[in-house]
A and B are shown apart, each in its own frame.
Chain A
Amino acid sequence: MGDKRHIYTNKEPKRIQKRKNLKAVKIARYVIVGLAVAFALFPIVWTVLTSVKFPSDILHSPPIWLPKELTFAHYIGVQELNGYKSFKDSLIIAGLSTACVVVIGSLAAYSITRWKTGGKSFPFGLLTLRVLPPIAVVFPVFLFFKELRIIDTYLAIILMHLVFNLPFTVWMMRGFFREIPQEAQESARIDGCSEVGVFWRVVLPLAAPGLIVTAMFCFIFSWQEYPYALILARRRVIPLSVFLPSLFGQQMIMWGEVGAISTISMLPLFALGILARKYFVRGLTMGTVK
């Protein structure tokens, strides 16, 4: 139908004009995309380069863009500052909190989808917890946890990371559970499967891709988190986001080490982000736009 309307009635000069315009649009598009990519990558590249520059090159004015010699001394320096221990702490906190949140959150999400537990506005109510300013939330928590003597433990930080990751997981998994065809669940029920059995053997396996994506995002959010960790971490447990600022404050800023630890902190996130890129929008907006 639509094709029939494109009858070639355009006169020759008009077509040439159009083609020229198209070419200009194409070039303009590549220029803008190129600028956007350069703008996005430049700070990241600069940080990575800083981590392999000699200190004299880092503190050179005017700045040296491409150093003649490279060094990996800063990555060893990070080791001396216990930076890799922080990497391990971040890994433990993000890993454990993700594991907890996925189990607990998908149970709640299933209950909400299947039995409408808590009513219609319950999931949204949960979601509002994410909006609260962390500093305002963590202040009473700090006093509370101090009474419980769990400041400066993995447990304290993991618990607080559940505050933003649990609502996220419930919301995301609710969306994924809804997409699972009812027939599969019904036939399992008719076959005499218990409710727990339906959840475990039918629903969870079908929602596995969604579960993995949700877990990836929870890991990323936990890894990035700063305010809760800042207040609940002291000496024994220091995730990367808290470790990094500790390189400042002395008379001299160790930019090389800052670059190195920044680079190290980015790697797992970029890897996960590229793996989960198909679901990026869904994760960032919690499925409000698909």
Chain B
Amino acid sequence: MIRLKSKKTLPLLFVLPTMGILSFVTIFPFIYAFVLSFFQWDYQIMGRPFIGIQNYLNVFQDGRYFSALGTTVIILSAALGLEFMLGLALALIFVEEFKGRNAALVMVVLPVMMLPIVVGYTWKLLWNDQYGPINHILTGLLGKEINILWLAKTPTAFISIIVTDLWEWTPFIFLILLAGLTSLSPEIYEAAAIDGASPWARFRSITLPLMRPVIGVALLFRGLESFKIFDIIVALTQGAPGTSTETISLYLYRIGFQYFRMGYASAANIVLLVAVGCFLVVAVRLLRIERGG
């Protein structure tokens, strides 16, 4: 009797806590925010008048919103591109056996373990124009006095953020690519070597095509994470100079928690969530096609 009953209820019983918690902390608040996005709820203004879709119209006319999106995309693509190239180069080196390989691997991967906010402050000290070591190292390397105010000017602030990001996340892409390379069968390479294919030809016509799905996963995962970039920006520049390095997460944080424009923040958040959702659907489709074909 009990067994028969459990055949149907047990599976549901097992997923219930997960579903309960996740809907409690995502779906309900989302509905709440959706409702709120049709009201004007500002810190300075009394009452919460219903204003229809005005908040959404405002979002689409908000230059700072789109420039923050642009900043995010610039940082994301530059960092992702560099991380991919460095990660791939390292993976191609580490895929072969050499003395001290395991020890080197552990050390190279350490940055991924750090708290992103700690990474940000660590590099804030490194970039410091007076007592940070980066200007000092550059002075030594180039043989002339280098005194760059890294975080105070727009182009160098971007460079600083991108280098900091790539320091933390290159190991991540490196590890995924390394795992992909390790799983390729060595026989294909042996055959190609016998046929007299040069290393570059082997890389281009064997490694790259076979690695495409893995590369896709690595770039998608890292790209989606990168889009959320917040911790490093808070630590390094806080969007300065001006709002030139302000990313979308930082701007959303400011609308909601510094300017206390609750209704507007709700609308801005929902627009972003919908955009990310659409992007995700497209990206996953592309990955599936890649895998299927």
Contacts and interface: CB of A to CB of B under 8 A. Distances in A.
Interface of A: 2, 5, 26, 29-30, 32-33, 36-37, 39-41, 43-44, 46-47, 50, 58-63, 65, 104-105, 107-108, 110-112, 114-115, 117-118, 124, 126, 128-129, 131-137, 139-144, 159-160, 162-163, 166-167, 170, 194-196, 220, 223-224, 226-227, 231, 240-241, 244-245, 248, 255, 258-259, 262, 265-266, 269-270, 272-274, 277, 280-281, 284-285, 288-290
B15 A139 contact: no
Contact of B25 (A160, A266, A270): A160
Interface in B126-153: 126, 130-133, 136, 139
A227 B231 contact: yes
B107 A104 contact: no
B57 interface: no
B3 A36 contact: no
A43 B179 contact: no
B172 A141 contact: no
B116 A136 contact: no
A124 B280 CA distance: 12
B214 A289 contact: yes
Contacts of B277: 128
A239 to B, nearest CB: 10
Interface in B8-59: 10-12, 14-15, 17-19, 21-22, 24-26, 28-30, 32-33, 36
Q: Which 9 residue pairs of A and B lie closest in terms of their CB atoms, listed nearest first? A: A140-B33, A111-B14, A140-B29, A108-B18, A115-B11, A136-B269, A281-B179, A273-B113, A61-B130
Interface string B240-255: 0000000011001100
A96 B26 CA distance: 20
Interface string B106-131: 11111111111111011101100011
B98 A50 contact: no
A233 to B, nearest CB: 12
B257 A231 contact: yes
B266 interface: yes
A195 B10 contact: yes
14 contacts: A39-B167, A41-B107, A43-B123, A43-B126, A46-B125, A46-B126, A107-B18, A137-B29, A139-B33, A196-B6, A224-B114, A269-B114, A281-B175, A289-B183
B171 A40 contact: yes
Given A223-B115, A226-B230, A281-B179, A163 B15 contact: no
A2 B190 CA distance: 9
A266 B202 CA distance: 41
A220 B228 CA distance: 18
A67 to B, nearest CB: 13
A9 B139 CA distance: 53
Contacts, number: 262
Secondary structure of the A side of the interface? helix
Contacts of A227: 228, 230-231, 249, 253
Contact of B108 (A30, A36, A194, A284): A36
B235 A273 contact: no
A111 B15 contact: yes
A226 B132 contact: no
Contacts of A290: 179, 183
Most buried by B among A5, A126, A141, A223: A141
B117 A112 contact: no
B172 to A, nearest CB: 6
Nearest to A114: B11
Contacts of B104: 33, 36-37
A118 B231 CA distance: 35
Contacts of B107: 37, 40-41
B32 A140 contact: yes
Given A115-B11, A274-B106, A133 B26 contact: no
A66 B188 CA distance: 50
Contacts of A284: 112, 172, 175-176, 221
B14 A107 contact: yes
B139 to A, nearest CB: 8
Contacts of A5: 194
B262 interface: yes
